[in-house]
Amino acid sequence: MTALKMTISCFFFLQVISCLLSSFAPTNVQGLQVGFYDKACPKAELIVKKSVFEAINKDPTLGAPLLRMFFHDCFVRGCEGSLLLELKNKKDEKNAIPNLTLRGFEIIDNAKAALEKECPGIVSCSDVLALVARDAMLALNGPSWEVETGRRDGLVTNITEVLLNLPSPFNNISSLITQFQSKGLDKKDLVVLSGGHTIGHGHCPQITNRLYNFTGKGDSDPNLDTKYAANLRRKCKPTDTTTALEMDPGSFKTFDESYFKLVSQRRGLFQSDAALLDNQETKSYLLKHMNSDKSTFFKDFGVSMVKMGRIGVLTGQAGEVRKKCRMVN
């Protein structure tokens, strides 16, 4: 009898623990699968790929903002397309400061319009975002991965949620680790996804504090290479709010491992880049993958993108499948 009571008690204890863990889980991957649209819209992925490749062939610099778009969507409310919604009062995610430099929304619209023509009401905007991010990297001869699909679209967008959830270029390593962990991502995911900075641009307002007044005494960030800092000061005056800077100078259109080498030389553009050297685990990965020889960065990037694509997804009957990505049905 005592053994039976203990067994019953253990069962209920495990049930409680299971419920608690599930209530804190940052993802809901039930319903996601590779090839979700194979029967309902078999040409879906080819349609998206065509739209992306046509756009990247005309303007290769679109690759980075299309990748960032998926990242910025997933970290705020989950990967459910809330970034794409537009409100008349402009209080939507798209108008939050970190998202003002995003470009390529017309590519999402074009892909979605082609999908609606082929199979109306089937493919969600959030899945279009996920597929576009992968295809943009593929168009740049970067990594490729199998994209899980089956997401549905959210109904809410809120400008105030962006700064609360999106990692900042000013963050230190502790803040970055905490933010990534809150989304179900680990330290390896942090440094791997930061490797996406191998393409694209940053802007002067994101680094002026590192150049002119880092500690409030008119100094520059001691973790920034002095020659690189001098070069950046020539491009960015203290009041400059518009000048674009290559994240990976000389290689900003090419997806490769050179970002890791730059960071190791204290030439990462953002504080968040430099911060990767302040943790042994992130630093170890960074130093190991500075060169393409025997690097697993491309493979690792795909794995981390799949993990990120599971954050807060809506599946089944949750949300909706929007007809147009900029508005709810």
Report the binding-site residues for substrate.
Answer: 167
- How far apart, in whole angstroms, are the C-alpha atoms of residue 48 and residue 52? 6
H helix and E strand count, the chain: 14, 4
User: Element (H or E) spanning 149, and its range?
Assistant: strand 148-149
Q: Is 201 a catalytic residue?
A: no
Burial of 85 (0-12, 13-18, 19+ CB in 10 A): buried
Burial of 140 (0-12, 13-18, 19+ CB in 10 A): buried
Task: Provide the token pair at 121.
Answer: 């009401």
- How far apart, in whole angstroms, are the C-alpha atoms of residue 285 and residue 149? 29
- The radius of gyration computed from the CA coordinates of the chain, to the nearest angstrom, equals 21
**C-beta of residue 60 within 8 angstroms of C-beta of residue 138:** no
Positions at the binding site for heme b: 197
**C-beta of residue 196 within 8 angstroms of C-beta of residue 67:** yes
Q: What are the residue ranges of helices labelled H in the chain?
A: 2-24, 44-58, 63-74, 105-118, 125-139, 160-165, 173-182, 187-194, 208-212, 226-235, 258-264, 271-274, 280-288, 297-308
Positions at the binding site: 73, 76, 78, 82, 93, 167, 197-198, 248, 256
DSSP state of 324: S
Amino acid making up residue 27 = T
Residues annotated as catalytic (active site), given as ranges? 72
